[in-house]
Structure formats: structure tokens, C-alpha cells
Chain A
Amino acid sequence: MGEDLILELKGITKIFPGVKALDNVQFQLRRGEVHALMGENGAGKSTFIKTITGVHQPEEGHIYFNGKEVSFKGTKDAQELGIAAVYQHPTSYPELTVTENIFIGHEIMKGGIIQWNEMNKEAEKLLGRLHANFKVTDEVGALTIAQQQMVEIAKALSTNAQVILLDEPTAALTANESQELYRIVDELHEEGVSIIFISHRMEDMYRLAQRVTVFRDSQYIGTYDVDGITEPELIKYMVGREITDMYPKPEVEIGEELFRLDNLSKMGFFKDVSLNVHAGEIVGLTGLVGAGRTETMEAVCGITKADSGKIILEGKELNIRRPKDAMKAGIILLPEDRQKQGLIMNWGLGTNVILPIQDELANNGFINNKKEWEIGKQYLEDVDTKAVTIFDPATSLSGGNQQKVVVAKALVQKNMKLVIMDEPTKGVDVGAKAEIYAIMGDLAKQGYGIILVSSEMAEVLGMSDRIYVMCKGRVTGCLDVEDASQEKILELAMEQSGKEVE
């Protein structure tokens, strides 16, 4: 072959109870290349990464590192060879400091004593290399998601990794933060580190990778040069069919004003937020992470309480004290964090979906299994979840499929008027994304109001009628979609008004 491969996998098969997650797949990583791994939700990407790091042991297959066959009994084995990963769902310890997180499991010791000073210095060096703007003594839980990701990358670097695996590193990042990540990957690339990264975003692949490998339904489809492949071709390989319209936004007659916020404020989080939504309208709400979008929406939904201001639905002012009040009024929230706020991970999918309406389905408080199963199945199929039965625990689903369950759980609530979707397509594949957009369009057509909180520019521009931009807790502008552009939004999102939330 003559190719300089640092890592090669052949004939890998990995089986979970009832599911073949990887079916005889192969992969070749050239020394020093950045290689994208793409495919639908549940295609087996994360599982594949975990077989490379020794988390999972494949049932069949061979792994070659620098041309020599190796086998990993556990994560230590892979680590020793210089393979490190940043997983899809963060594995950091929020109560520990940055240094502690970086060195957990391979602390620097001398004579059985942990060398804190040395570790802090080492950690500072790593953060410096990543141009991080936080301190090694900060608690990880207090950092933004993007910063936490940097900690994970620093952790990977701290092992002097030759091969770094990144599982959906950009899923939780805004456009700006993604730029940061690109820069880091570029630098690693220049230093000669070989990188595999997973993403559902085409722009990531085009920007970073030299080659791309596609998996579909647990199988290897092919490896292509990024320069020689078009987006529709790639989508076809991934999804198995062509997607003609990514943003299927229907023509909707915009109705009367449905919902309005008047000067909603909460100290330290957001100030004087005023916005409105009409019936049948999709309103985008965007900004940088930390702009106060999620906090504002959580106050609307009763998760927290605003200090002042009015929440008005259909002309009537609402007094929302807890989530139930908002739900009763018809305001439905699809929360941002699927594992912590959206789902009960060890429960069955069906029960997760019908949980918000279980009282309505019940007979005098008694659980009505038949009805629950029927409705659970219907909604899970509507969002095209990849699962075997509705009794599978949410933990057994791939990240994107978990997100679909959260969407189903929001949709199941029938008496809704306003639907607030916080990053509804985070980690969702192209096919399913188009599906969720179609559902949003459907909802708009039926006259519901929709607020789409999102950091993904293409999605905000593709689906919204109007776009509000927030910066540092304030609304800095509202654009009609016809006049909006990525540049204009970014300008508003980074506007240095000088006024912080007091």
C-alpha cells in the first residue's frame, strides 16, 4: 500500500444486546491527517470511537497502530499508545478544578505524593496552547460549555496524544466558538497530531478535514477526499436518499399577536427583554452562548422567576410561578440539555415521551398502559427515532436519537399555544433535522407560535420569520428574515453596548 497509516481498523463488529452497532466496518487514519467521520444518528460513530479508545471491546475485528496489531482491554491500553478522546457527552467532574479534571487518572506523582504545583504549571501550559481565557483553579462546573470542551481537549493533550478523537465537538458551540475550535484543530494538525472528528455539520468537514468516512446503519459506506465530493452526494451516502429541501418552511398566513414579553428582567441574567410572537410565526432567538437566551426562556416557562416585567399570552398577563403554570397556559419548553433536563435516562422511551400528559391519559389517576404505549409509539415514530421497542431505556440510544425523544416529548402536549425550542437539533443528523424542521413548519401552519432558540446560523436563517438577537442579557435587535444575514446577526450578537446586566 505504501500509505503511512497511524491507525487502521478492519472488520470491526460491535454488538449490544439486540443491536449490531458496528457491522464489519473499516477505517484508515493517515499520519497527520484530519479525518471526518459522518453518518446518521445511531450509525455507530460514537461506538466506533469508543472501540478505538478501549471503552468497548469489539466482538470481531483487528486494530493496527503504526502497522502493528494491538488489542485494547481497557482505556489505559489505548492511552499508553497515545490515543485520546473527547466524548460526545462530557465526562468531566463539575465540582473539581480545571487542573484536577485534566490530570484525573494520570496525576503527576513523586514518591506517592501528588505534585500540585507541577500539575498546575503543566495545566497552564496546556491552556495557554489552547488560548483559553479561564484559570486552572476554576471549577469546571462554572465554565461555559465551550470552555468545558477546552478542558476536555486539554485533558486529551495532557497525555501527549498522537491520535485525538473528537465526538461532535461543535454540537454545543456557536459559530464564534466553533472558530476557536477550528483554530485549535488547525494548530494540532500543524503539530502533526492525527485527528478523527465526528460532526453533523457540513461546514466543519469542509473547513477542517482532508478526508471523510461515512457510516450508515452500522456499516462502512466509503472514504472520500473532501475536495472531490459535493454536499448532496455526501448527504445521499449518509442518509441513503436525497434531501431536496433542507428547510421546508411552508407558506403560513401570520395571524394576530399571540405572545409578548414586556421588559422582562432578572438581575444578573437578562434585562428589559421585550419581544413578541404572532400566531403561525417562527421567531428565531439567537446570540452568543451566555447571551441570556436560555435564561429568559426559562423564566417564561416558570423554571426560574423573573424579577420584573410582563408575560402576556393572547392579551392576558400570566402569573407563572412554576413550570406547571406555563404548561397549563399552553407554553411548552423543549429544554436545552437532553440528559439533565429533558429525559429520565434509565426509563423507557415511551414513558419518557408521555410523562407530561400521563395525568390526561390516566383513568382517575390510574395509569392507562395501553393508551400510553399507543401514543408513545406514535410520537416516537413521528420523529423517526431509531429504537427497537418503546421500552428501551434512553441510555441505549445514540445522542441524536435521544434528542428526537425530547422533541417527541414536547410535541405530545396537545393544548399548546407557544412552543419554545431550545437548540432542538443539537447533535441531530441531516435527515432527522429536515424532519424536525418539517414538524416545526407543521406546527406553524396549525397556528401555533414558535420560538426557536438556536446558535446555528443556517437553521435560524432557514426557518425563522423574524430573528431577535441577544447580547449580554439584552435584546440588541430584531431582523426580518428578508433583511437578515449572518454578518448582521453577528454584528448585533457582539454589539459592545457597554451596558452589562446589573
Chain B
Amino acid sequence: MAGKSGRTISATPQGGIKEKIFSWEGALILLLIAVNIFGAVLSPNYNMTNILRESPRYLAEIFMLFGMAFILVLGDIDISVGSIVCLTATMGCLVSNKGMGVGAVILVCLGVGLLCGMLNGFVATKFTELPTMIITLGTQIIFRGIAEVALGDGGSASMTDIQSIGILRAKVGPVPLSFFIVIICAIIFITVLNKTTFGRKLYAIGSNRTTAYYTGIEVQRIRFFSFSMLGFLAGLCGLFLLASTYGANTTTGNGFEMEVIAMCVFGGIATTGGKGNIIGGFIAAFIIVCLRIAFGQINMNTQLILVIIGVMLIVSVLIPAVTNAINSRKKTKKA
């Protein structure tokens, strides 16, 4: 039965291909292409083989992008992941130096990462009134502190057995193993966020936590799960970093949290929660990686690279705000 007035409401979605191309993701793909052309012009060594060879260190960082996207969509933030990477790589290295096999190293890295994530999740869900920025600032200091204690006076540890961990550096042709992991993660996480009711619950919590709670969504369980998941991915990152640098020191993973958050924000995921899409973050990650490799090849100062990425980040946040303002003005005029 329709209402008394007999009004009907359309249920046909509007918008089509045009909207897709002119979306933020579309713009990012164009930018990715542009960055690659730019890289090729800038550096004679900028080609596929070299990019793939240099990529593992960056790819490991991208693992965390997926977990961070969940956390940001929830309206939370986790700035402890860099320290988790440090702690897991340290523990993995120490375990390996005790003479244990690669299986134990993998287990320790992933396990420690998961535990750290669970701790973040536990505190965040038990003390809901605390901002997660503060909670993870605390654990950031704690995790790195533990790693520093474990590393001892020298502040660094190197692996004595670099052979057995070699399986993590395995390649299919020129393509490193971590690349496949990134692709598989991307498929899984993008599908979950866009196509499943679980993904929508994340958006609901990030958009209006109170309404989500009143609607019967298990807000705290989902937040706990997401923090744990991100911790696990940070452990995975620590593991692969260990495999490509054969050791850990007190600066391992420094600043990773900010880089990962930057990738997400650049990709259109709002830190205020409830908005954005991993696809954008995923493309943005590759833009940043390609830029770094290109600038790295011409030996540009790393600080300068950070400045450039910082500027891009601010511009990327400004553009949608400005275009939105213009669009809404246009629309009101036209209608």
C-alpha cells in the first residue's frame, strides 16, 4: 500500500559512466599515468624491471593501507603501526638469531603484530571516551620502547641466518611475492568494504556511531576487530621488511603510520570517518611509490621528497572541498 497521497518515490539509481570517469578515483588513475611518464622522462633507469626490483620495501608498507582504511572509515585513527612494524621486525630477528626456523619467525611477527593490534582495540573499546589518536600515541611509545629494550645497547640487530627467510623474497619472474599479497589483499578488502554488509557497517559507524549502535550494529566488536586486523597487517609488514633488510633497529618503521595515513587521505578517505574508498587509497599508494622511486633514482634529497608529497596531500584534500563548493553553487543556479 502506498501512502494516502499516492506519492511514489523512484528507486532507479541515477548517474552512469560519466560520473565514474570524473570521480576522484578516475583522476587518480590519470595522475598515476602522468607520474609514470614524468618518472620516465626524469630518470633513464625508470623502467618496469627497476621499479619491481625496488618495490618490496614500499609494497610492505601498502599492506597496512588496507587495515588503516578500515580504521579511518570507522572514524578512528591508529598512529602506532610504525612502532608495531619496529617491534615485530625486532622480535622476528631475535627469534631467528636464537636459531629458530623461518616458520617460527613468521609466527612471531604475525603474532606480535596481532597482539599489539588487539591491545589497541581493547583499550579503544573499553575506554570509548578516549580519542584513539591519544591511545595509539601511547602505545606507539610503548611498542617502540619495548623494541628498544629488546634491541639492547647497540640499538640494532642483524640476522645471522639470511638464507631461510629468503622464501619471502621469492619472485615469479621479476615480480616479488609481496606484490601478489598486495593484490590479493586489495581484492579482498575492496570487496569487503564496497560489497558486503560488514563494509557498510564500517561506514555506518564512521558516519554516526550513535545511530549505528541504536540500529543494532556491534560497534565495539567491529572496532576491536579492525584494530586487531591492522596490527596483524603491521606484523606482516614488519616480517617482509625484515626479509628485505635482514635486520631491525630503533628507527625501523619510523614514520610509516603517517605515510600510510597519507596514502589513505590522498586516496579520498576522510579522517573524519564514513567517507572514501580503498580503491582510491590503493591507486594513491602506487602514485606515491612511483614518485619515490623516480625521485630516488635521481638521488633527490629524501626530505625534499617528503615536502613534495606533503604538498600533494594538502592539494588533494583541498580539491574535493573546492569542487564541491563550486558544484553545489552551479546546481542551485541551474535547477
Report A's interface with B, CB cutoff 8 A.
15-19, 241, 303, 322-324, 327, 333, 335, 340-347, 349-351, 355-356, 358-359, 362, 365-367, 373-374, 376-377, 380-391, 409, 431, 435
Cβ contact within 8 Å between B14 and A391: yes
Cβ contact within 8 Å between B9 and A387: yes
B199 to chain A, nearest CB (A): 8
Chain B residues with CB below 8 A from A366, complex form: 195-197
Chain A residues with CB below 8 A from B210, complex form: 340-341
Cβ contact within 8 Å between B213 and A380: no
Chain A residues with CB below 8 A from B196, complex form: 362, 365-367
Contact of A384 among B3, B14, B332 (CB under 8 A): B3
A414 to chain B, nearest CB (A): 14
For the complex of A and B, the 10 pairs showing the least CB-CB separation, nearest first, are: A384-B3, A377-B11, A389-B10, A324-B216, A373-B11, A381-B2, A17-B331, A327-B216, A358-B197, A344-B207
B136 to chain A, nearest CB (A): 24
Contact of A342 among B1, B5, B197, B211 (CB under 8 A): B211
In the bound assembly, the distance between CA atoms of A359 and B210 in angstroms comes to 19
Q: Is B301 an interface residue when CB atoms closer than 8 A count as contact?
A: no
Cβ contact within 8 Å between B8 and A381: yes
Known pairs A324-B218, A342-B214, A367-B197; A381 contacts B208 (CB<8 A) = no
Cβ contact within 8 Å between A382 and B3: yes
Chain B residues with CB below 8 A from A359, complex form: 197
Known interface pairs A365-B197, A390-B9; 4 further A-B residue pairs with C-beta atoms within 8 A, sorted by A's residue number: A343-B211, A344-B208, A376-B11, A381-B3
- Within 6-64 of B, Cβ neighbours of A (below 8 Å) are at 7-14
Known pairs A324-B218, A365-B198, A389-B12; A435 contacts B4 (CB<8 A) = yes
A351 to chain B: closest residue by CB: B200
B5 to chain A: closest residue by CB: A384
Q: Which interface class (under 10, 10 to 19, 20 to 34, 35 or more) fits B? A: 20 to 34
A341 to chain B: closest residue by CB: B214
Cβ contact within 8 Å between B195 and A322: no
Cβ contact within 8 Å between A367 and B195: yes
Cβ contact within 8 Å between B332 and A17: yes
Cβ contact within 8 Å between A391 and B13: yes
B202 to chain A, nearest CB (A): 12
Cβ contact within 8 Å between B211 and A384: no
Q: Is B128 an interface residue when CB atoms closer than 8 A count as contact?
A: no
Q: Is B323 an interface residue when CB atoms closer than 8 A count as contact?
A: no
In the bound assembly, the distance between CA atoms of A345 and B197 in angstroms comes to 19
Contact of B211 among A15, A341, A380, A387 (CB under 8 A): A341
Chain A residues with CB below 8 A from B215, complex form: 323, 355-356, 409
A240 to chain B: closest residue by CB: B5
Cβ contact within 8 Å between A355 and B204: yes
Q: Is B335 an interface residue when CB atoms closer than 8 A count as contact?
A: yes
Contact of B14 among A351, A389, A409 (CB under 8 A): A389
In the bound assembly, the distance between CA atoms of A87 and B67 in angstroms comes to 41
A365 to chain B, nearest CB (A): 5
The 26 sampled A-B contact pairs (Cβ below 8 Å) are A15-B335, A16-B335, A17-B331, A17-B332, A322-B216, A323-B214, A324-B218, A343-B208, A343-B211, A344-B204, A344-B207, A344-B212, A346-B207, A355-B200, A355-B204, A356-B215, A358-B200, A367-B196, A377-B9, A377-B10, A381-B7, A382-B1, A383-B3, A384-B4, A384-B5, A435-B3
In the bound assembly, the distance between CA atoms of A165 and B274 in angstroms comes to 35
Chain B residues with CB below 8 A from A382, complex form: 1-3
Q: Is the interface of A mostly helix, strand, loop or mixed?
A: mixed
Cβ contact within 8 Å between B2 and A323: no
Chain A residues with CB below 8 A from B198, complex form: 365
In the bound assembly, the distance between CA atoms of A344 and B200 in angstroms comes to 12
Chain A residues with CB below 8 A from B10, complex form: 377, 388-390
A284 to chain B, nearest CB (A): 22
A384 to chain B: closest residue by CB: B3
A340 to chain B: closest residue by CB: B210
B128 to chain A, nearest CB (A): 13
Chain A residues with CB below 8 A from B1, complex form: 382
Cβ contact within 8 Å between B7 and A362: no
In the bound assembly, the distance between CA atoms of A231 and B217 in angstroms comes to 44
Contact of B11 among A342, A358, A390 (CB under 8 A): A390
Chain B residues with CB below 8 A from A435, complex form: 3-4
- B108-146 vs A, CB cutoff 8 Å, 1 = contact: the mask equals 000000000000000000000000000000000000000
Chain B residues with CB below 8 A from A349, complex form: 9
Chain B residues with CB below 8 A from A351, complex form: 200
In the bound assembly, the distance between CA atoms of A333 and B1 in angstroms comes to 23
A42 to chain B, nearest CB (A): 10
A5 to chain B, nearest CB (A): 29
- B86-100 vs A, CB cutoff 8 Å, 1 = contact: the mask equals 000000000000000
In the bound assembly, the distance between CA atoms of A347 and B204 in angstroms comes to 9
In the bound assembly, the distance between CA atoms of A409 and B208 in angstroms comes to 16
B23 to chain A, nearest CB (A): 16
Chain A residues with CB below 8 A from B200, complex form: 351, 355, 358, 367
Chain B residues with CB below 8 A from A323, complex form: 213-216
A445 to chain B, nearest CB (A): 14
Chain A residues with CB below 8 A from B8, complex form: 381
In the bound assembly, the distance between CA atoms of A362 and B3 in angstroms comes to 27
B196 to chain A: closest residue by CB: A365
Known pairs A377-B9, A431-B4; A344 contacts B197 (CB<8 A) = no
Chain A residues with CB below 8 A from B207, complex form: 344, 346-347
B258 to chain A, nearest CB (A): 28
Chain A residues with CB below 8 A from B213, complex form: 303, 323
In the bound assembly, the distance between CA atoms of A373 and B10 in angstroms comes to 9
A15 to chain B, nearest CB (A): 5
A327 to chain B: closest residue by CB: B216
In the bound assembly, the distance between CA atoms of A5 and B217 in angstroms comes to 54
Cβ contact within 8 Å between B7 and A386: yes
B334 to chain A: closest residue by CB: A17
B324 to chain A, nearest CB (A): 12
A442 to chain B, nearest CB (A): 10
B201 to chain A: closest residue by CB: A358
Chain B residues with CB below 8 A from A376, complex form: 11
Cβ contact within 8 Å between A303 and B214: yes
A30 to chain B, nearest CB (A): 32
Q: Which of B12, B13, B214, B217 has the most CB of A within 10 A?
A: B214
B143 to chain A, nearest CB (A): 31
Chain A residues with CB below 8 A from B274, complex form: 344, 346
B230 to chain A, nearest CB (A): 21
In the bound assembly, the distance between CA atoms of A335 and B214 in angstroms comes to 8
Contact of B332 among A15, A333, A358 (CB under 8 A): A15
In the bound assembly, the distance between CA atoms of A245 and B213 in angstroms comes to 37
Chain A residues with CB below 8 A from B208, complex form: 340, 343-345
- B200-243 vs A, CB cutoff 8 Å, 1 = contact: the mask equals 10001001101111111110000000000000000000000000
